[in-house]
Structure 1
Amino acid sequence: MSKPRIAVIIGSTRKTRFADKPAAWLMEQVADHASLDFELVDLRDHDLPFFDEPASNLWMPSQDPRAVAWQEKLAGFDGYLFVVAEYNHSITGALKNALDQAYKEWNRKPMAAVAYGGVGGARAVEQLRLIAIELQMVPLRNAIHIGGGDFMAVSPMGGNAPMSAIEDHLKGSLDGMLAELTFWAELLKDAPKA
């Protein structure tokens, strides 16, 4: 039996984004995971238009080939782990648009998050969880939050230290999130989708 495949989706597309640093750290942490396979999916690599379909692909096939390509990419995964920046107490516009470009592909799959910002991206994760429920994902309780002093220690706007400088603060959250993600990904891997 193959291991569930998890997309690690970088949810910011700004040239000056911080997301690359925690995403690289996360990929190092999960490189040899015993139960899950992880693949980095960067929204920068997907030329998504603003959502302009007549309806969600739950109701009718999407017309834009870029949206269809995105849906096909997502369909190959059994769960999603978002690297989330907090913009004005929510997720980025790029991530919201990417979520809207698909529907069926998200269904009955777990969703986890690594977030960063002033309060560890907590408000963005809460917004993401609400969207995930509507898309019939299973949002996890556990998440990794990089906030406050830890964020300023590793951010280029602060100390720009390596992620290893705060790794001991994140390890418990990482372990809890991965255990929960493994449980749900294995449970839902063969569940019928919408």
Structure 2
Amino acid sequence: MTRIAVIVGSTRPGRRAEMVAHWVKESAATRTDAVVELVDLADFDLPLLDEPVPALFGDYRHEHTLRWAKTIASYDGFVFVTPEYNHSYPAAVKNAIDYLFAEWNDKAAGFVSYGTSGGIRAVEHLRLTLAEVRVAGVRSQVSLSLFNDFVITDPTQPGIFSPAEHQEASLATMLDEVITWAGALKPLREAVAA
């Protein structure tokens, strides 16, 4: 069974990423072609990259890195749920990616973003970073507008997530692509493991 991690890409207090990630997971719950689980960056408490050896060599020295590596290695693909901060994705996501190399290789990723512009600029930057660690980003993505897909009465609070009806179809298409690509890349992962 294909294993997909929905990565909660914000560690900020009052974040919206958690409720969006739960929506992704709940929408995927009826699928029979994949197991979809949440992976919350906040649960890993990764410090700023502190490994003395570049991730390319896989010589991890710290317990937090080994735990993170084991988690990421166990999945075939990912859905990154990311806000857009200052025209890009959060530093916590970049830091989490930079910790590892081989654990990301030859896997697929989809994207669910949100922000005043739907988070599309965050995803454009994230695609470039993931390509460097050999993650294949799928074409379809879900872009959520803070104005149309959330009810926010106080900007200091996460508000209520209320995705527009068309977002379910976009999410289903993106999940189809991630699962298909994760399957297509499986022989590459198996060749490395052999």
Corresponding residue number in structure 2 for 1:52: 50
The code of the aligned residue for 1:47 comes to D
Measured against aligned partners, the alpha-carbon deviations of 1:25-60 in whole angstroms (never above 9, x if no partner) come to 111100121211101000111021211223323224
* Aligned: 1:172 with 2:169: yes
TM-score (norm 2): 0.90
Length, aligned pairs only: 190
Retained in 1: the 8 A contact 2:148–2:164?
A: no
After superposition, residues 9-48 of structure 1 pair within 5 angstroms as 9-48=7-46
| Residue 148 of structure 1, CA deviation | 4.9
> Secondary structure at the residue paired with 1:150?
coil
| Structure 1 counterpart of 2:118, from 117, 120, 123 | 120
Corresponding residue number in structure 1 for 2:135: 137
Runs of 4+ more than 6 Å apart: none
Gaps of 5+ in 2: none
In structure 1, C-alpha distance between the alignment counterparts of 2:93 and 2:153, rounded to whole Å: 21
Q: CA 1:39/1:95 → structure 2, altered by over 3 Å: closer, same or farther? A: same
Q: CA 1:4/1:159 → structure 2, altered by over 3 Å: closer, same or farther? A: closer
TM-score (norm 1): 0.90
Q: CA 1:20/1:92 → structure 2, altered by over 3 Å: closer, same or farther? A: same
Percent identical across equivalent pairs? 38
Corresponding residue number in structure 1 for 2:71: 73
In structure 2, C-alpha distance between the alignment counterparts of 1:36 and 1:111, rounded to whole Å: 14
Retained in 2: the 8 A contact 1:18–1:155?
A: no
Q: CA 1:80/1:156 → structure 2, altered by over 3 Å: closer, same or farther? A: farther
The code of the aligned residue for 2:71 comes to K
| Structure 2 counterpart of 1:183, from 164, 180, 183 | 180
Which has the larger share of strand? Answer: 2
| Residue 190 of structure 1, CA deviation | 3.4
The code of the aligned residue for 2:117 comes to V
Gaps of 5+ in 1: none
Q: CA 1:155/1:71 → structure 2, altered by over 3 Å: closer, same or farther? A: farther
Retained in 2: the 8 A contact 1:108–1:193?
A: no
| Residue 121 of structure 1, CA deviation | 0.5
Task: Report the more deviating stretch, 55-64 or 123-132.
Answer: 55-64
Measured against aligned partners, the alpha-carbon deviations of 1:57-91 in whole angstroms (never above 9, x if no partner) come to 32241111111110011100000111101110111
| Structure 1 counterpart of 2:90, from 92, 107, 115 | 92
